[in-house]
């Protein structure tokens, strides 16, 4: 039987790659997206292939999302404001927390039971244990973005236990690859277009984090969901990232290498101990041992993911 799936934010970076994979595996997919950061162009192949229907809509419109949820088996909730820095906290509240509440309420009313939620590594804040496992605590995010995502996790867990739903929390590392329109690689490529002789790095350059190529991210999600749907668990969480990490200075070096320019790397020194911005988690490395126990293994290391993504994004930016 064909699985009927709704993907919120399905025209965005990660969401559109997810839609391509779901359509390829014969799922019947409806994409719900307000196109604030996504693009219909990302869905061209899936819509042409069939089994993919697009609805332009905003999750703040409860009536529209309730109509979209009719006869849906699984919701992949990937709609959010993805920018961590320089954003009014009210944006994170309305675009992350409020829309997740609206979605959960609509699911409750429609009887849709399964939700797969794209959360983030930033919910861990400045974790004292690295690599950081899923059961690390207390989780104390240092950005309003991370706080909003953690609030969404809590709401999903409460609806699962109160209203008989089931949920998977995907705590994503830094996902990179084609179709991305924000993040460090895109920022660096845009800066080099303006000035190929000098590449500014926010912070002191020592910040280091886990990165994962979007193709590895999608294969991990597929394995997690397949395992979860066979289980009796009501709620579960997985880190989705490569095993290692890479520094922002090394990312700058890779971007220069792949762009074929010899610009000088200049760090700004940063704020609050060398961070790129207030709320920037300086060091983040996720443990993916739980994911690996399912049999998953990444194709790319963090550095390899950055290099492959840079090659893809040079053609795009």
The answer to whether 145 is a known catalytic residue is yes
| 190/24 Cα distance (integer angstroms) | 33
Q: Which is catalytic among the residues 124, 145, 211, 300?
A: 145
For 280, residues 6+ apart whose C-beta sits below 8 A from its C-beta are: 84, 85, 143, 203, 207, 270
Q: Could you list the active site residues?
A: 145
């Amino acid at each position: 039987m064909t699985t009927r799936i709704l993907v919120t934010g399905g025209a965005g970076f990660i969401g559109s790659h997810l839609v391509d994979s779901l359509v390829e595996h014969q799922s019947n997919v409806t994409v719900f997206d307000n196109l604030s950061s996504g693009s219909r162009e990302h869905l061209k192949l899936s819509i042409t292939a069939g089994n993919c229907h697009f609805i332009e809509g905003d999750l703040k419109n409860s009536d529209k999302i309730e109509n979209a949820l009719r006869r849906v088996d699984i919701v992949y909730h990937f709609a959010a404001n993805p920018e961590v820095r320089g954003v009014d906290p009210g944006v994170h509240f309305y675009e992350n927390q409020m829309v997740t509440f609206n979605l959960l309420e609509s699911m409750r009313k429609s009887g849709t039971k399964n939700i797969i939620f794209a959360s983030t590594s930033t919910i861990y804040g400045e974790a004292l244990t690295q690599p950081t496992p899923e059961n690390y605590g207390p989780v104390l995010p240092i950005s309003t973005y991370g706080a909003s995502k953690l609030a969404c996790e809590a709401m999903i867990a409460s609806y699962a236990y109160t209203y008989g739903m089931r949920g998977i929390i995907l705590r994503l590392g830094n996902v990179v690859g084609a179709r991305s329109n924000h993040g460090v690689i895109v920022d660096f490529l845009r800066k080099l277009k303006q000035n190929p002789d000098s590449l500014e790095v926010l912070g002191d350059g020592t910040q280091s984090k886990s990165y994962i190529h979007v193709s590895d991210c999608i294969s991990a999600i597929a394995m997690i969901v397949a395992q979860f749907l066979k289980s009796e668990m009501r709620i579960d969480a997985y880190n989705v990232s490569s095993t290692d990490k890479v520094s922002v200075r090394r990312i700058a070096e890779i971007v220069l290498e792949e762009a074929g320019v010899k610009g000088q790397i200049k760090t700004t020194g940063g704020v609050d101990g060398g961070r790129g911005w207030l709320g920037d988690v300086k060091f983040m490395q996720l443990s993916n041992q739980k994911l690996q126990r399912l049999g998953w293994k990444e194709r790319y290391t963090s550095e390899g993911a950055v290099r492959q993504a840079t090659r893809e994004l040079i053609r795009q930016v």
